[in-house]
Structure 1
Amino acid sequence: MKIKPALLVLSCAAAFTAFASATPPPAAAMLEAMKVSAASHSFASDLQFAHGEAMRRNSPVVLCKSVDGASCANAGAWSQGWIVFEDANGNGLRDGLEELIVRVPAFSRSLRFAGSMNAVRAISFGAGGGVQLAGARAAEATLTICSDAAGPVHGRQLTLASRGALRLEQGSAGCT
């Protein structure tokens, strides 16, 4: 049986494409790991910043999910973006004249944000440094940020206690 050269080339190309797409190159995995690290550090630093701003301003400051970068969203994951604002009237929502301090746009679709913190729609820091997790059903909330391409070892888990303590850990079972 004779195989036509064009068919052989196409067969080899198809096999190579299937193999290449099944195992991402190390550079792609490294890029995804860097995205996970950047997203987790961005969220952690904005939490710490909001906490410090509340104490500095002697006024409540809120970090909440936001789709439009101007108002709080009642649903969705933190991957859609968030805002930090001074909550002068203390209602947990950004009203027209309240100062927008930080705006973070949506993250890459390749990142997954999972955990009990997705149920939290807003995190409010009081002037004295206390924290309230709007929508939380527990004393602490966790947020796991990961990417399938980066592998579970590159996941990051943030844990925020109701007293304001923040813990950031590498690697998480929530990424598998």
Structure 2
Amino acid sequence: MLKGQVNMQTAWQASPPRPGPVRHSSTPGCSPDGFTLLEALVVLALLATLAALAAPSLSGLRQKHQMQSQAEQMLGSLMLARSEALQRQQRVTLCVLGLGGGCATEGSWGQGWLVFVDGNDNAVRDSTETVLMVHSALPPFLKLKGNATVNRYVSYGPEGRSQSISGGFQAGTLTLCVPGQTAAWRLVINAVGKPRLETASMPSNVAC
């Protein structure tokens, strides 16, 4: 071997090994991304608190949505009764739904309602009279009540006017509300029987 030449094998053996990839020891309670178990628990606790704070607000929004939906359905039922009376040239009545599927003698509109062809003009559904629609009971938190003139039924004559069973015009107001809340909906039936839906506010001294 010439002077000055380096023995490659000797040089390789003498050179120190290259450092390999650094391996971090796993510390208990620490995730690979750097979040400790305590930090994760704090985040979960904050999320749970925010969800709890948002729950009443979401519940209130759901109730408002359901209240509006039920008010619109009652309006649709009144309009159906009126249009069917005109089309059939017969009295058509909408009444509070009773246990046996007929008209209730007591209770309120929250029990549900029934639209039927009232062939004998008595605002009571007889077994032979045609049922046009049935609406089931409202959710328990909703209250639907009518004033004295429309607390049991609303009836339309052949000319499309609302009429009591005595033959007089039948005007009135149905109120849909949630106990403890001021926001409400009203269905107002005018002297010729045309219904309209409007928002309302319950006075503090008037129970829903």
Structure 2 counterpart of 1:28: 59
Assess if the C-alpha contact under 8 Å between 2:116 and 2:129 holds in 1.
yes
The verdict on how the C-alpha distance between 1:37 and 1:162 changes in structure 2, with shifts beyond 3 A counting, is same
**Residue identity (%):** 29
Assess if the C-alpha contact under 8 Å between 2:149 and 2:171 holds in 1.
no
- Superposed counterparts of 1:131-142, under 5 Å: 131-133=162-164, 140-142=171-173
* TM-score normalised by structure 1 residue count: 0.76
Which has the larger strand fraction?
1
**Alpha-carbon separation, structure 2, partners of 1:134 and 1:76:** 19
Structure 2 counterpart of 1:171: 200
1:121 aligns with one of 152, 162, 166: 152
* TM-score normalised by structure 2 residue count: 0.65
Count of residue pairs the alignment pairs up: 154
**Alpha-carbon separation, structure 1, partners of 2:143 and 2:201:** 12
Which has the larger helix fraction?
1
Structure with more relative contact order (C-alpha pairs < 8 Å, separation 6 or more): 1
Structure 2 counterpart of 1:70: 101
1:91 aligns with one of 94, 119, 122: 122
Pairwise CA distance, 1:168: 1.2
**Alpha-carbon separation, structure 1, partners of 2:143 and 2:55:** 18
**Alpha-carbon separation, structure 1, partners of 2:145 and 2:118:** 27
* Stretches of 4+ aligned residues off by more than 4 angstroms: none
Cα shift readout 1:89-122 (whole Å, capped 9, x = no counterpart): 2222111111111001111110122441685311
Contiguous gaps of at least 5 residues in structure 2: 1-51
The verdict on how the C-alpha distance between 1:148 and 1:89 changes in structure 2, with shifts beyond 3 A counting, is closer
